[in-house]
Amino acid sequence: MSNDAASPVTTSDPVLFDRHGRLGLITLNRPRAINALNFEMVTLIQRQLDRWAADPAIAVVALVGSGDRGLCAGGDIVSIYRDATGGGESSAQFWREEYALNATIARYPKPFVAVMDGIVLGGGIGLSAHAAHRIVTETSSVGLPETTIGFVPDVGGTYLLSRAPGELGTHLALTAGSVGAADAMAVGFADYFVPRREVEGLLDALAEVEGEAGVAAAIVGVTGDPGASTLAADRQWIDAAYSTDDLSGIMGRLREGAGADAARVIATKSPTAVKVTLAALRRARSLADLETVLEQEFRVSVHCLRSADFAEGVRAQVIDKDRNPKWNPASIDDVSESLVESFFAPAPGGDLRLERRAP
Which residues form the catalytic set? 75, 123, 146, 154
Gap between the Cα atoms of 67 and 256, Å rounded: 44
> Which of the 8 DSSP states describes residue 118?
B
Angle between helices 271-286 and 247-256 (to 10 degrees): 110
Give the list of residues 6+ apart from residue 260 with CB closer than 8 angstroms, or none: 254
Give the list of residues 6+ apart from residue 10 with CB closer than 8 angstroms, or none: none
Which residues is 143 bridged to in the sheet?
Answer: 121, 178
Which residues is 15 bridged to in the sheet?
Answer: 28
3-state secondary structure of 141: strand
What is 30-69 written as a DSSP string? -GGGTT-B-HHHHHHHHHHHHHHHT-TT--EEEEEESSSS
